[in-house]
Structure formats: structure tokens, C-alpha cells
Amino acid sequence: MNAQAFAPLAQPNARYSRITGTGSHLPPRRLSNDDMTALLAQRGIETSDAWIVERTGIRARHFAADGVNCSDLALPAARAALEAAGRTADDVDLIIVATSTPDMVFPSTACILQDKLGANGCMAFDMQAVCSGFVYALSVADSMIRGGMARCALVIGSEIFSRILDFNDRTTCVLFGDGAGAVVLEASAEPGILATDMHADGRHVGILCVPGTVSGGQVLGDPLLKMDGQSVFKLAVGVLDSAARAVLERAGRTEADLDWLIPHQANIRIMQSTARKLKLPLSKLVVTVDEHGNTSAASIPLALDTAVRSGRVKRGDTVMLEGVGGGFTWGAVLLDF
């Protein structure tokens, strides 16, 4: 299967990329499983905290308020990442926003965010790979930095999935939340991003999708999220394992070299299964799905920032990021933090 893969080897005068700062933002409105149970009961749909936790590991999620857009969540996350990196908007020469819930059809959310940041003039575009969007975007930014097209990139995952949920379907609406996470990726003389591995298989479009579009001022099809949970689970576990092993091999590392695994925060059972396949103790698995739910492209940078600010992920740690989502897309990034 064709894939984009990069495994830089340290060479004199070579150019690499490293994460120099992280940031995240959650909308203030927090809904516990009990809150969701009450919300769904108004529609005559039964669920419970125990039912949700047992199947997903999720205990709460955050929903954006009316009038808040994807770029509004991305802005404080981006500012926090810039502050952590000791950079300002003037230093940024590339902005990539990974999202499936943009502010509008066009222009890109990245361009809207660029204006709000005051970073006008640099490259800015969106990345659409659903829950794999952040690892795709990080891989693209790494390639552009190593190729000399950029020196300081903002890579952001930002989502408002609460607006595309079917609240008559308890198997999906309890899973997702809203939020944003960001990193600053800068040119470096030493490798930070060690290897990447990206894939897609369009044969599985139907198992996770929002099968609607806009035409003539009207919505055609169904604008709400649809998912075949069992099919997604079975596919996700296998492809995440293969991507993990691919980046380790390309970087000349082994599972024993990993300090942290930060997978897409979709379902605790998928995450734990991935860790076990890599023979990693669950203590090396970063988990935020319990408090954030599945925030799609935002989930990995949200989890990374949470782990960095809590003091778990430290400079020099070897970290694997993994994403899997609709398309069907998947990928992994191995990095020295």
C-alpha cells in the first residue's frame, strides 16, 4: 500500500524539526455522563454513566457555546503553544489547522485563525483527515520545514463535533466533544521528528462519515455523523499496530525505547489494546479520553499538552503519536520531545 513515510537520519548541516511548545483549550461547558443521560432522556433515549464508561472509558466531554467557531477554540491553544515556545505570531511562517468542522466552507479555518493571531502573510491551510488530521498535519509541517519552505510552524487540531452529532443515536453522540490542541514545530539541527507513517484506504469510507454536503443553499444527504462502531474498532486496532511498528523500524528504535504512547483518544479499549500489542505498560499510555471524550483531530495535541503541563512528558522523552479516523485514515509519528 502506498504511504508517505519519512525517517530522517542525522547528517552534518541537515535540517530537521522539533516541537518547542504545546498548548490546548477546552470550551467551558463540561457535560458529565449524568448530564448526557439527562439530555438524552428528554428525547426518550436511555443511557447511563455505567453504560458509557464500560464501553468507552469516557466520563465527560466539553461542548462549545452557540456562536463559538473552530477558529475561536484554536486561538487560545495557538497562543499557549507560542508562549511555551517563547515565540510570537511574527515568528510563524506556516499555519496548518487539522479539522473536520471548519468555520465555513471557505476560506480555510487556518486563514481565519491567521488573521486573529496577527500572523498575516505566512502560508496557511487546513488539513482534512478527520481524527488522523493532526498526525497528517504534523508530518506535512515536518516535511516542509526539512525542505526549507518554513522554519516555525503552528500545527493545530481544532474541532466542534457537538454540532454534527445525532442526539437520537446514543452509540455515537456520547462519544464526542469539542476542543483544540496546538504545537509549535521549529527547524532544528538535530532530529525531533524521527519518523512518520501515513495511510488511507477509501474502501472503508462508509464506516465513519458525515454523508451530507451543501448544494444550492441546501443540505444534501445527512449532515450528522454515522459510525459502524464494531468495524471501526476492528480496523483501528490492526492499523495502529502496523503504523507503530513502521515508524519504530524507520527510526531504528524498538518498543523498549518508548517513554510515552499518545494515541487518538477515541475509546479506552482501542488505546489499551494498542499499548499491549507494543508490550508497553499502561503507565506509559497517556489517557485524556475520560475527561475530553473523542475530540477528533484535537485529541492528540490536547493529550500531549495535558501530559507536558502535568510534568509527565519531559524534554528528551521519546513519544509516539498515533491517529486513526474516517476515510479510512491512519498514521503515526515518532519523535524525541
**Catalytic residue among 25, 62, 204, 264, which?**
264
Report the sign of the C-alpha dihedral through residues 80, 86, 89, 95, in that order. Answer: negative
Q: CB–CB of 62/30 below 8 Å?
A: yes
**Closest among 285, 283, 274 to 240, alpha carbons compared:** 274
Residue 173 is among the residues annotated as catalytic for this protein:
no
Q: CB–CB of 7/250 below 8 Å?
A: yes
Residue 264 is among the residues annotated as catalytic for this protein:
yes
**Catalytic residue among 122, 131, 152, 209, which?**
131
* Alpha carbon separation from 224 to 169, 200, 221, 270 (Å, rounded): 10, 22, 9, 24
Q: How far apart are the first and last CA of the chain?
A: 29
25 Cβ neighbours under 8 A, 6+ residues apart: 73, 74, 75, 76, 77, 80, 179, 180, 181
Residue 131 is among the residues annotated as catalytic for this protein:
yes
How many CB atoms lie under 10 A from the CB of residue 52? 22
The C-alpha cell at 16 is: 530537521
289 Cβ neighbours under 8 A, 6+ residues apart: 56, 57, 58, 265, 266, 267, 268, 271, 299
DSSP 2-29: --EEE-----TT--EEEEEEEEEE--SE
Active site residues: 131, 264, 294
